[in-house]
């Protein structure tokens, strides 16, 4: 729409174009009012596009639209690294997030893909010992994926489970350990203390562990999801995010918020319940959908 208005002479350069672009981006909201494009990500994108138009680097029409897509994609990919690094032997992938985000299901799907599609030997550590249902669900996924699961006693020490999982991986030269963690304790401080303990345990066992720490965020929670990612990032040294329940870009503005505010790239997205519905995050495709839906 902006390129059409520029070509028709309805919008000129400078401040007028900047204000109109902000208006159009503001219209990319769901009926519930959840912004597709997070407010914090807009000013820098708008300023860069405005500067490039005024410098003659970007012209109206399709050129402007494509450049806006590029800028939004850049915002969603800080440092440009979207690959999950599992290059270390017995690489430890720690997964954090609150209950209800789809964390356990995400772990199961990752395990299945690594085991079946990449041919890696995977061990799953059920370190969310405070929720029996999570352990049972993870055991079902492990059986489905054909990978070993290491469990502890209900309400037991999560650090001990993580230790045993890494030890099992080292003993059989397994390629990857995926470690589930608690998503809810009596207080936030208890939860974060447990995460720190799990990190300390695995880091003493294996150099560089955990090699990746993914936070699972429910895309439908909007800014609350950003706050969750920030809280976990403060103690867990999160390296990437997984967005679940993302059945369209209208719920995905949180990807830009997480990236622009926290500097954490979205690495995987879940758009449904089937195994194939967990896929790598494509920033350009995502940005294009934001502007075309």
**CA–CA distance, 44 with 34 (Å, rounded to integer):** 20
- Do 20 and 125 lie in one domain? The reply is no
Give 205's contacts (C-beta < 8 A, 6+ positions apart).
163, 166, 167, 170
101 and 68 assigned to the same domain: no
Give the separation between CA 234 and CA 89, rounded to whole angstroms. 27
Which pLDDT value is given to residue 13? 52
The mean-pLDDT minimum among 6-20, 52-66, 108-122, 141-155 falls in 6-20
Domain boundary among 75, 99, 126: 75
| Whether residues 143 and 171 fall in one domain | yes
Same domain membership, residue 212 and residue 182 = yes
Pair 14, 101 in one domain: no
266 shares a domain with 195: yes
Q: What is the DSSP letter of 79?
A: G
Helix (H, G, I), strand (E, B) or coil at 175: coil
Instruction: Give the domain-ending residue among 40, 75, 110.
Output: 75
Which structural domain, as residue segments, surrounds residue 160? Answer: 91-292
Are 64 and 117 members of one domain? no
Residue 82 lies in a domain: no
Dihedral over Cα of 79, 82, 88, 94: its sign: positive
Q: Is the pLDDT of residue 236 over 80?
A: yes
Strands (DSSP E) found in 62-190: 91-96, 122-126, 148-150, 176-180
| Arithmetic mean of pLDDT over the chain | 81
**Does residue 261 lie in a domain region?**
yes
pLDDT digit string, tens, across residues 78-132: 654 557 888 999 999 999 999 899 999 999 999 999 998 899 999 999 999 988 8
Are 180 and 234 within one domain? yes
Same domain, 231 and 185: yes
Q: The domain spanning residue 166 has which CATH number?
A: 3.40.50.300
Angstrom distance (rounded) from CA 80 to CA 240:
12
Please tell me whether residues 57 and 108 are part of one structural domain: no
- CA-to-CA distance for 171 and 165, rounded, in angstroms? 10
Closest C-alpha among 154, 141, 274, 268 to residue 217: 268
| Residue 128 and residue 58 share a domain | no
| Mean pLDDT within 242-267 | 78
Domain presence at residue 201: yes
DSSP E strands: which ranges in the chain? 91-96, 122-126, 148-150, 176-180, 212-218, 240-244, 266-270, 278-280
Among candidate residues 92, 86, 84, the one with its CA nearest the CA of residue 170 = 92
- In a domain? residue 199: yes
Q: What confidence tier does 284 reach under pLDDT thresholds 50, 70, 90?
A: confident
Count of CB atoms situated within 10 Å of the CB of 215: 28
Domain stops at, among 75, 104, 135: 75
Cα distance between residue 58 and residue 64, in whole Å = 6
In a domain, 83, yes or no: no
Does residue 211 register a pLDDT over 90?
A: yes
pTM of the model: 0.80
Per the structure, how many domains does the chain have?
A: 2
Distance of alpha carbon 132 from alpha carbon 104, whole angstroms: 12
- Note whether residue 84 is domain-resident: no
Asked whether residue 105 falls in the same domain as residue 208, the answer is: yes
């Amino acid at each position: 729409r902006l390129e059409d208005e520029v070509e028709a002479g309805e919008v000129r350069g400078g401040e007028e174009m900047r204000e109109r672009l902000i208006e159009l981006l503001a219209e990319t909201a769901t009926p519930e009012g959840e912004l597709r494009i997070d407010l914090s990500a807009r000013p820098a994108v708008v300023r860069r596009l405005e500067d490039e138009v005024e410098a003659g680097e970007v012209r109206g029409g399709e050129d402007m639209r494509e450049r806006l897509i590029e800028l939004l994609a850049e915002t969603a990919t800080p440092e440009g690294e979207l690959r999950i690094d599992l290059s270390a032997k017995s690489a430890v992938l720690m997964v954090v997030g609150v209950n209800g985000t789809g964390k356990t299901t995400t772990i199961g799907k990752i395990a299945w893909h690594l085991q079946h599609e990449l041919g890696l030997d995977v061990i799953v550590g059920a370190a969310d010992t405070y929720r029996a249902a999570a352990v049972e669900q993870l055991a079902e996924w492990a059986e489905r994926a054909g990978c070993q699961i290491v469990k502890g006693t209900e309400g037991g020490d999560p650090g001990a489970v993580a230790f045993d999982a890494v030890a099992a991986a080292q003993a059989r030269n397994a390629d990857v350990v995926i470690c589930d963690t608690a998503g809810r304790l009596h207080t936030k401080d208890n939860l974060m203390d447990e995460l720190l303990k799990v990190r300390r345990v695995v880091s003493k066992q294996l150099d560089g562990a955990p090699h990746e720490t993914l936070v699972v965020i429910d895309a439908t929670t909007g800014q609350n999801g950003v706050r969750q990612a920030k809280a976990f990032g403060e103690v867990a040294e999160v390296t990437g995010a997984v967005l679940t329940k993302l059945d369209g870009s209208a719920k995905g503005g949180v990807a830009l918020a997480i990236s622009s505010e926290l500097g954490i790239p979205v690495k995987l997205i879940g758009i449904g319940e089937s195994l194939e519905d967990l896929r790598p995050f494509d920033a350009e495709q995502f940005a294009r959908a934001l502007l075309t839906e």
